[in-house]
């Protein structure tokens, strides 16, 4: 895989220089190259560092980008790859390079700017680490300083995620608004029934990992006894789903009304609010609880490259009938082929799958 990735880089760089006389790959090509590198890292257990460079406002002209290209061409290895995103940031992929090595590259680049000049803002993302470091306008006096760790759920993590198409967001807003109007009476009556039949709140709110690992709170009608989350580890050995996900056919924590709500998927209707807010999509990989999501293997966590959804391929065709590895592969196949037709098909197939009451809920 390592040789394949390096061969790909050589071919793309050669094509780029021939077609554009430029070291920089386009936004699409550099993101594709980063996906190739991530797959290589997942296979061989190495590390990838990504250096993001934002030129100062006074150095945004074409000649300044050309200067940076020449600097990079003289500094980078043959296995490194550079490109420019649509937002004008420069990306440098540094395979088999630690965060410290990437910051050394950033420091070397900053030194081409004369003292007193505003220098580029540099950011380093390391994969598979879940955190990044950031330093702004590196200079000679600060080159030995170690940048502070920042919020691991900051904007940089979204370098590895796919932008949500406008048609998909429009479908989510329209569908969730219509859906909330239609099912509001069902949600209201169900909430009253939950409150009357078991002690505790009518709604259940749980932390989940969404797009790029961003944390959000998912809303559901409560189907289990109050405090069920604290009891989960007691029943972990009885989970019928392998891998980090926890699924039981007859979960003793489920209330009598909760069994009906889960069988009909009425308990998931409040997630239309999550869709309207933008935490989720109508169609996308089902979001796992944070502890289960973070226990996934690196390649399985690539399912976070698209927004999570209320329904997806696994939800419709294979709930409870496949291993977690195949579940993750189904999510990855969806993420690679996001299309309006596929989303509409999965939405229309969701209702029959709910009525057939297939799989664990």
Question: Domain boundary residue among 110, 139, 160?
Answer: 160
Confidence of residue 142 (pLDDT cuts 50, 70, 90): very low
Radius of gyration for the chain, computed over Cα atoms and rounded to the nearest angstrom = 24
| Number of Cβ within a 10 Å radius of residue 189 | 11
pLDDT tens profile 315-341: 888 776 789 999 999 999 999 889 999
**Residue 55 maps to a domain:** yes
Q: Note whether 173 and 257 are same-domain residues.
A: yes
User: Tens of pLDDT along 89-112?
Assistant: 899 999 999 999 999 999 988 888
Count of beta carbons in the 10 Å neighbourhood of residue 288: 23
Kindly state whether residue 360 falls inside one of the protein's structural domains: no
Domain end, chosen from 160, 195, 227, is at 160
Mean pLDDT of the chain: 83
CA atoms within 13 A on the CB side of 169: 9
Q: Do 264 and 179 belong to one domain?
A: yes
Does residue 35 have a pLDDT over 70? yes
- DSSP letter at 111? T
CA distance 79 to 64: 24
At how many degrees (to 10) do helices 256-264 and 166-197 cross? 160
pLDDT at 139: 47
Are 99 and 217 within one domain?
no
Overall average pLDDT of the 164-190 stretch: 96
Q: How many CB atoms lie within 10 A of CB 133?
A: 21
Q: Are residues 179 and 312 in the same domain?
A: yes
Mean pLDDT of 198-205: 94
pLDDT score of 31 more than 50: yes
**Joined tokens for residue 288:** 């796992």
* pLDDT for 137 beyond 50: no
Residue 288 lies in a domain: yes
Looking at the structure of the chain, the number of domains it has is 2
Same domain, 154 and 171: no
The verdict on residue 345 lying in a domain is yes
The pLDDT assigned to 20 comes to 44
Question: Are residues 198 and 149 part of one domain?
Answer: no
220 CB-near residues (< 8 Å, 6+ apart) = 203, 204, 205, 206, 267, 268, 270, 271
pLDDT over 70 (residue 253): yes
Q: Is residue 290 part of a domain?
A: yes
* pLDDT tens, position by position, 271-312: 999 999 999 999 999 999 999 999 999 899 989 999 999 999
176 and 323 belong to one structural domain: yes
What is d(CA 193, CA 229) in angstroms, rounded to the nearest whole number?
A: 21
Q: Angle at the Cα of 176 (from 171 to 180), degrees rounded to 5?
A: 155
Does 267 fall in a domain?
yes
**Confidence category of residue 129, pLDDT binned at 50, 70, 90:** low
Query: By percentage, how much of the chain surpasses pLDDT 90?
Result: 50
Residues 275 and 177: their CA atoms lie apart, in Å, by: 9
Shared domain check, 97 and 20: yes
User: Which tens digits make up the pLDDT trace of 13-27?
Assistant: 444 444 444 678 999
Contacts of 257 (CB under 8 A, 6+ apart): 193, 194, 197, 198, 223
Whole domain around residue 236: which residue ranges?
166-355
Q: Do 218 and 314 share a domain, yes or no? A: yes
> What percentage of the chain exceeds 70 in pLDDT?
82
CATH number at residue 153: 3.30.70.270
Residue 6 lies in a domain: yes
114-118, 119-123, 186-190, 219-223: which range is least confident on average? 114-118
Integer Cα distance of 18 and 131 in angstroms: 37
Enter the pTM of the model. Answer: 0.78
The DSSP secondary-structure symbol of 195 reads: H
Confidence of residue 356 (pLDDT cuts 50, 70, 90): low
Instruction: Establish if 361 belongs to a structural domain.
Output: no
Provide long-range contacts, Cβ within 8 A and 24+ apart, for 202-206: 203/270, 206/289
Q: Are 120 and 254 within one domain?
A: no
The last residue of one of the domains, among 160, 188, 222, is: 160
Compute the C-alpha angle 234/238/242, nearest 5°: 115
- pLDDT beyond 70 at 314: yes
Cross-strand pairs, 52: 91, 123
**Together in a domain, 311 and 224:** yes
The Cα–Cα gap between 306 and 87 comes to 20
Q: Looking at the structure, tell me whether residues 178 and 294 fall in a common domain.
A: yes
């Amino acid at each position: 895989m390592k040789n394949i990735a390096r061969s790909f880089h050589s071919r793309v760089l050669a094509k780029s220089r021939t077609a554009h006389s430029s070291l920089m790959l386009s936004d699409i090509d550099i993101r594709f190259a980063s996906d190739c590198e991530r797959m290589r890292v997942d296979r061989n257990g190495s590390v990838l560092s990504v250096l993001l460079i934002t030129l100062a406002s006074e150095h945004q002209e074409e000649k300044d980008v050309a200067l940076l290209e020449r600097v990079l061409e003289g500094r980078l290895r043959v296995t490194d790859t550079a490109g420019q995103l649509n937002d004008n940031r420069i990306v440098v992929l540094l395979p088999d390079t630690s965060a410290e090595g990437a910051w050394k590259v950033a420091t070397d680049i900053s030194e081409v700017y004369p003292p007193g000049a505003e220098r580029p803002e540099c950011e380093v993302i390391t994969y598979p680490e879940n955190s990044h470091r950031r330093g702004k306008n590196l200079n000679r006096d600060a080159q030995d300083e170690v940048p502070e760790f920042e919020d691991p759920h900051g904007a940089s993590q979204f370098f590895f995620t796919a932008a949500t198409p406008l048609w998909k967001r429009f479908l989510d807003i329209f569908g969730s608004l219509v859906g909330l109007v239609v099912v509001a009476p069902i949600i209201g009556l169900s909430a009253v029934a939950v409150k009357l039949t078991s002690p505790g709140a009518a709604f259940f709110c749980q932390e989940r990992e969404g797009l790029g690992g961003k944390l959000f709170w998912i809303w559901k009608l409560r189907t289990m006894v109050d405090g069920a989350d604290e009891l989960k580890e007691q029943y972990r050995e009885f989970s019928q789903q392998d891998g980090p996900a926890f699924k039981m056919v007859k979960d003793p924590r489920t209330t009598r009304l909760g069994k009906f709500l889960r069988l009909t998927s009425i308990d998931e209707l409040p997630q239309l609010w999550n869709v309207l807010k933008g935490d989720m999509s109508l169609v996308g990989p089902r979001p796992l609880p944070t502890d289960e999501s973070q226990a996934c293997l690196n390649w399985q966590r690539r399912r976070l490259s698209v927004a999570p959804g209320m329904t997806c391929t696994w939800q419709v065709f294979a709930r409870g009938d496949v291993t977690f590895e195949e579940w993750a592969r189904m999510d990855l196949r969806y993420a690679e082929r996001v299309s309006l037709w596929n989303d509409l098909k999965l939405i229309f197939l969701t209702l029959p799958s709910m009525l057939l009451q297939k799989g664990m809920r």
